Structure 1
C-alpha cells in the first residue's frame, strides 16, 4: 500500500474513532438545574412544574422564560442533498446534523436538537417541521435537495412565527456576498457595474445571486448556467427559481459567457472552469470556486492564468474559505435574542456587512494564535474572517439584532451596547470581571515595557493593547527578529510608531542603563563589567532598569524562563523599603464565579507577618475587579484543631490583622472546603466573621497555593488572570510561560491601571 493510501486509511479511521469514542456521537443532554434532593425533584417535575406550565398557558411567550425554547434551534434534514455525498437518506445524514448542532453550541452558545426526517415529499416535510414550532425558538433547514428546499422553506416561513433559515442557501449566500464586497473593494469595482457569471443553479447558487442583487447587483448583468448551459429566455421547462434568471441573450456556453466577466461564482462541480476561461475574464477577475471538496478550478491554476485574480474556495487549506460557520451561529444568536419572528433581508444584509467589515479591521490576537503562520491582514488572501475569530459573535449577532429591531421583526428590545458587552463575556471568559480594570486603564496612558519583546504572544498582545487600551507598549528585542516575526505572523505593528523598540545589542542608552544597574548592585558584588554583560543579555534586568529610571511605568516579563529567575531581577532593581514583592495573586474564573488564590509564587514558607501582608494586599487588589473581598486563611489546621506550623502561622497572621480595623471580611485558620462551604463552616465554627462563600483563598505556603491554582485550572476548567505581583506599586508583573495572548493583554491592563485607582 502506498504511503498516500496509508494516510487516507489512517485519516478515515481517525474520523470514525472521533465519532465513536469515548461515547458514540458528538452530542449529549445535560441538566441545567440541580437534581440532588427530593425538593429539586418536586420543582423539576410534579408538582412544581405545573406552575411553569400554567404561566405559559396564560402567555405563550413565557416559554422563553421558563423553558429552553429561547435558546433552542432545530437542525432538520431529510438527507436528500448532503454536502459532497448527495442523497444518502435521513439516517446517514445524522452525523452531519450532529456536527451542525455542535457548531451552534461552540460558536454561539446555542443549544440544538438534530432531527432527521424520513420524508421526501416537500409539502409533508414542511408540515412536519411546522408542527414542531412549540418546541423551538428557530429552525435551521439543512441538506434538502433543490427545488424541494425552496418549497419547504416557503411553507415554513408562511406558517411559523419563528425564524426559519435554510443554511445551504442563505448561509452560503451571506458569506459569499461578504467576500464579494471586500474583493470588489480591493479590485476598485462597484457591485452595480460588474458582470457576473454563475455556474450552478441549485439552492446555493440561486441564493447567492439573490443576495448580490439585494445588495445592488443588476439582474441584466448576471448570467446563470446549469448542466445544459446558459439559462436564457428561449429555454423551456425551467423551475420558477431558474426562470427568474433567464436572460435575453445569444450566449449559450460558459466560454462565451465568461468573456469579459468580472466575477465567476461556482457552486457546481470539480474542474468545470479552466485557466483558458479565466484568461478571457476581465482584468483582475474575482473567482469564487466553491464546489467541495474539489473546486471548479484550483487556485494555483486560476492565478497562473490571471495573476491579479482574487480567489475564494470552500476549502480550509486555501485562503478565503467561504464557510457557512461564519454566518449561521451568529445570525441565529441575534435573531433569538430579540425574539425575531423571521430572518429577513435586512438581517441578512447586516450579517454580510458585519462579516465584511470585520475582515477589514485589524485581526484579533486570538485569531493569530489559532492560525499561526498565516498572514491575516486584509487583502487578496484575507477577504473574510476566519471561523475562529472571537469577534464574530459580538459583532455579527449585534448587527443582526439591530437590523431585526430596526426592520420591525423583533418582539423584544435590547440595549445593544450592553448586549454586545454580554456577548463579549461569552467569548472572553475574563471580559466581565476585567471590565473595571480596562475602564480604569483607559483613564490614563501608561508606558508598559515587555521584557520578551521578540515573543510572538507579546507582539500580538502589543497589537491588542493598541486596539483596546490607551497604553503604549515598549518592546525589548532585536529589530531584525521582531520585524521578521511581525511579517511572519501577519501583524501590522510599525516599530517606533506603534511601539517603542529597545535593542539590547545597540541601544544608545546602554551606558545609562548599565550605569544605573551598577549603582543599584555595586554593594551586592556586581562589577562594572558584570553590569555591562547583564544589561547586554538580560532583558528582564533592562525592563526593570527602565522602570527604575522612569522611562516606563510598569514592566511585564516571564513568558520565557522560570518565575523565580525573573523575580530575582525585579527584586534587585525595583524593591525599596516601601515597595517589595508581598505575594502573587491568581484570579481563577470558574463557572460559579471568580476565585482568587495567594500566595502562589513569592513566599515559599511565609511568616505570620508576611501572611498578614498577603491578606491585606490581596483584599486591595481584589477590589480592582469590582469584587468585595471575603478572605479565608487556609491551612492544614482548622480553627486550632492541629498544632502545626501552618496553624501557628495562620494564628499569628490573624492576630496581626485583628490589631487594626479592616474594611474587608476575613477568617481562619481553616480547610479549603470550609472556606467555600458556608454551611459546613457554620457547623464547625458558628458565629465566625466570614459570611457566605470565601472568594479569596490565602494559603500558608506556595505548595498549597500552587496546587490549588493548578487544580482549579486543570480539573475545574478555570481560566487564570495573573499571577498578579502584589506589593510593587503596580510597577512589575511576572507571568508564567503558559500565558496566552489574552492573558498578557489582561496583565497589560492591570499594569496600565493607575495605582491611585486601587490602593
Structure 2
C-alpha cells in the first residue's frame, strides 16, 4: 500500500490530475487491496470515487457478503462489469489475477491512464501489451523486469528501522504517510550512478518509466527511516526521540559500509568550500554524469570542456539542466582566451623548444587548455584521463602546473576500498624503476595524502622478496 501510494502520487503529478477528482477501479478486495484503498483515501482520494471488484463481481450496496471494511467501497452499480467500471476511469489497481484486463478495457479508460497491474507472476495485463495499446499510459507492475516495480522491499526494512530507532509503540497512519511522501520525493531526485549501473540504465530520470525509486537505491535507508522516525515523534508514539538528526542519518549511512563512509567524508569536506573543477572530457557520458553529481551534491562548480553540441545533447539525455560553463577549445568563439593562454605558455616555455605556433596548437588540446585554466586561476582543479593515456594527461600538468615547492618527484596514488577500510597504493603509474631514495620520497608524499583523509597511515614497502628470501637489487632497494 505504501509503495503503490508513492507511485500514485507521482503518476498523478505526471498525468496532471488532481487526486480528489480521479476515478479509481480496483480489481481485488482482499487485505492488500483494502490497505491500498485506505491509504489512497488518506492521500485525498474520495471513497465514493473508488469502485472495487472481488471474485464475485462489483462491491455494491445490495451485497450481503461484504465485511465492514469492504462496505466502505461498495459504490458500484449492481451487476456492473469491470469493462463498464473502467470506462472513463483514471486509475486501475490490480491485486487479483493475471490477464483480466484486456486491451479493449484499457482503451476505454481516460486520457493518461494509470495502471498498476500487480498480480504476480502474471500481471493483470502484460506490460508490453499495455504499452503498445496506450502510448499515454503510466504503468507499474510487481515484476522486476518491468519499469516501476512496486515492491515492499522499498518500504518494510526502512519503516521498521525508523520505528525501532525511536522505539515506536506502534506504526500509525502518520508514519505510513511519511514513508509514502519520502519515497515519492526520492524518485524526483538525481539517481546515484551505482543504481544506473545496477539496472543497466544510461540515466534514470523522473518520468513515466521511473515513478518510484529502485530497490537497490542506497539512499532509501537515509530517506525513509528518518521520515518515519520523525513522524513517530511528532505523532506521540516514540519512546526514544532522536535529538541529533544529522548524526542519526550518518549512522544509518554507516550501515552501508566503509566505502560509502569514505565517499561521504570526502563529499562533506568538499561541500564546506566547493571549488571550480574543469572536466576536460565532458563530451563523454560518464564524465558528464560525474560533473552532474558534483553539481547537484554541491561538491563542486563544474566547468565543461569538449564539443558543445555533444555536451548539450548528453545533458538533455541525462536530465542535467543546470546552466554551467561550457568551453570548446577548438572553436572560434574561444580564440581570444586560447590566444591569451598560448602567449602565456610560450613565454614560459620558449627557451625549452616551444614556439608560439606550437603553443597555439597545444591550446586547442583540451588537457592543455584545462591545465592553463588552473594555472591562471580560472579554475581550481581539473579532472581528466577518461579517454586519454596517462602520459598524455600528465605532460600538460607538469608543463603548466608543475610540482609543489620542495617536491622533486611526482607519483600517483590509488585508493582501494577493502573490508578493513581504504588501502592506498603508490606509485602505480609514473615511475617505472624508482631508486631507494625515490621510494622514500613517494612514501612520505603518500603519508601526507593519507592524513588528508583523516587516517593514521601505516606504511609497508612491497617487493617480490619474502622476508629477505632474495638478494636481488630490486628487493634490496626496498629493504
Q: 1-side partners of 2:468 and 2:27: how far apart?
A: 80
CA RMSD of aligned residues (A): 3.1
- The Cα shift of 1:267 comes to 1.9
- The Cα shift of 1:478 comes to 0.7
Matched, 1:193 2:21: yes
* Aligned partner of 2:232 among 385, 393, 404: 404
Look up the match of 2:398: 571
1:49-106: per-residue Cα shift (whole Å, max 9, x none)? Answer: xxxxxxxxxxxxxxxxxxxxxxxxxxxxxxxxxxxxxxxxxxxxxxxxxxxxxxxxxx
Distance 1:573 1:323, change over 3 A: same
Look up the match of 2:259: 430
Look up the match of 2:179: 351
Asked if the contact 1:571/1:581 (under 8 Å) is kept, the reply is no
Asked if the contact 2:158/2:221 (under 8 Å) is kept, the reply is yes
* Aligned partner of 2:96 among 268, 278, 282: 268
Distance 1:243 1:487, change over 3 A: same
Q: 2-side partners of 1:504 and 1:231: how far apart?
A: 69
- The Cα shift of 1:632 comes to 4.3
Distance 1:616 1:224, change over 3 A: same
Matched, 1:226 2:226: no
Aligned residues: 474
Look up the match of 2:139: 311
Distance 1:576 1:235, change over 3 A: closer
Q: 2-side partners of 1:232 and 1:577: how far apart?
A: 81
Look up the match of 1:456: 285
Q: 1-side partners of 2:239 and 2:472: how far apart?
A: 63
Look up the match of 1:256: 84
- The Cα shift of 1:212 comes to 1.2
Look up the match of 1:290: 118
Q: 2-side partners of 1:437 and 1:322: how far apart?
A: 34
Look up the match of 1:675: none
Give runs of aligned pairs for residues 373-384 of structure 1, distance below 5 A: 373=201, 376-384=204-212
Look up the match of 2:308: 479
- The Cα shift of 1:548 comes to 1.8
Q: 2-side partners of 1:523 and 1:447: how far apart?
A: 32
- The Cα shift of 1:180 comes to 0.5
- The Cα shift of 1:502 comes to 1.7
- The Cα shift of 1:519 comes to 4.0
- My pick for the range that moved more, 465-474 or 307-316, is 307-316
Secondary structure (helix, strand or coil) at the match of 2:440 reads: helix
1:715-757: per-residue Cα shift (whole Å, max 9, x none)? Answer: xxxxxxxxxxxxxxxxxxxxxxxxxxxxxxxxxxxxxxxxxxx
Matched, 1:281 2:281: no
Distance 1:256 1:351, change over 3 A: same
Asked if the contact 1:365/1:463 (under 8 Å) is kept, the reply is no
Matched, 1:504 2:329: yes
Q: 2-side partners of 1:375 and 1:649: how far apart?
A: 49
- The Cα shift of 1:403 comes to 2.7
Asked if the contact 2:267/2:299 (under 8 Å) is kept, the reply is no
Asked if the contact 1:638/1:647 (under 8 Å) is kept, the reply is no
Look up the match of 1:542: 369
Asked if the contact 2:414/2:425 (under 8 Å) is kept, the reply is yes
Secondary structure (helix, strand or coil) at the match of 1:448 reads: strand
Distance 1:577 1:334, change over 3 A: closer
- The Cα shift of 1:301 comes to 5.3
TM-score (norm. length: structure 2): 0.87
Asked if the contact 2:58/2:78 (under 8 Å) is kept, the reply is no
Asked if the contact 2:57/2:79 (under 8 Å) is kept, the reply is no
Secondary structure (helix, strand or coil) at the match of 1:583 reads: coil
Distance 1:189 1:251, change over 3 A: farther
Asked if the contact 1:197/1:265 (under 8 Å) is kept, the reply is yes
Matched, 1:335 2:149: no
Asked if the contact 1:450/1:475 (under 8 Å) is kept, the reply is yes
1:329-380: per-residue Cα shift (whole Å, max 9, x none)? Answer: 3223333444445433332222111110001222333333334445522223
* Structure 2: gaps (5+ residues): none
Secondary structure (helix, strand or coil) at the match of 2:412 reads: strand
Matched, 1:326 2:154: yes
